[in-house]
Amino acid sequence: MEIDEPGDYPTVKPKELDKPCTIEDIGNFVVNYINSDKMGLVSIQHLIIADQSQSGLQDPKCMKLAELHSKAVDFAKSGVPVSFSELPKRYFPFNPDFQHKETQLDDQTNYYESNKALGVLYRKIKVDELPQRDEDSQSAQFPVKEHPIWQELMELCKSHVTLEAIEQERNLVLKTFYEYSRKLSSIKQIYTIGRKPLTEAEVYMGTILQSSSQTKRRDEMCAKLGDATAYLVEQVKWEFQGYSNDPVSLWLVRSFCGWHYSLETSTHQDDTGKDVKEWKEAICSFGLLSLRSAFEALDVIGKRRPDPRRKRSSD
């Protein structure tokens, strides 16, 4: 087993200003840091060159990259970035297979089979494809009024909700759903890391189940997905809740109505008689949001939680 001495690199002289630092200088540094941070690029280049070289980590290019990594780490303190011209080039323009992007966004012929440990481990791990959800799995397997949650909820809501009241709120709830489904569809497309859009379940859970060798990018996208999903959920809640001077029962009726439609059918037709495509692709999560909203409304009615609704601007 070989043990090397730790690297001893010369200290990078920090960038200095010939005047007092201002908020504009700080802003310029933050923008420059975002644009010039090369730490990830240096690390990946180090990994690939070590795989391509017979000398592995002892290759002179890897030694240079180790020094550049130290410089990249100190960039936040020194203000001196690593430039592209300093990066050693690879020995050949292909990537080891353990860098393969499993989302298949890039040229699949741009890889070679690595004979190093990472390549062997990569090929030993098999990632199963996510099972495709049965399009009909959302439909109720028994009549709506026989659903156990329906029966329990109706017992709790019977003094506040009637079928007539549900019908009166039908248009508002459907309008809320169509807006929700449209935005949900956009989120599926925007925050995917592959060619296929995210599933309804991924968006609702705020996670990305697609496999990718770019774990940092997936983590960043998951964070953005979570923020976008949370905002969309809040919009639905606001539509159901109304305002603080509205009857709480109206909040409950709208929520119950949304959940009722999610159970009633897995398809819906517009005014022209055509099936609404978004119905199947969003009704499951919309139903869960509606059910949660109904329970929250019941808690407010029962004085088990404070009323979270907004005040009208004129109040």
The values of phi and psi at residue 25, to 5°, are: -65, -40
8 A C-beta contact, residue 180 and residue 286? yes
Nearest in space to 226 (alpha carbons), one of 191, 258, 255, 250: 191
Residue 140's pLDDT is: 44
Round to whole Å and give the CA distance between 298 and 159: 11
Residue 139: pLDDT band with limits 50, 70, 90: very low
8 A C-beta contact, residue 177 and residue 261? yes
Strand partners, 96: 112
8 A C-beta contact, residue 111 and residue 97? yes
- Mean pLDDT of all residues in 267-296: 75
The values of phi and psi at residue 111, to 5°, are: -130, 155
pLDDT beyond 80 at 101 = no
Round to whole Å and give the CA distance between 261 and 256: 9
- pTM of the predicted model, to two decimals? 0.57
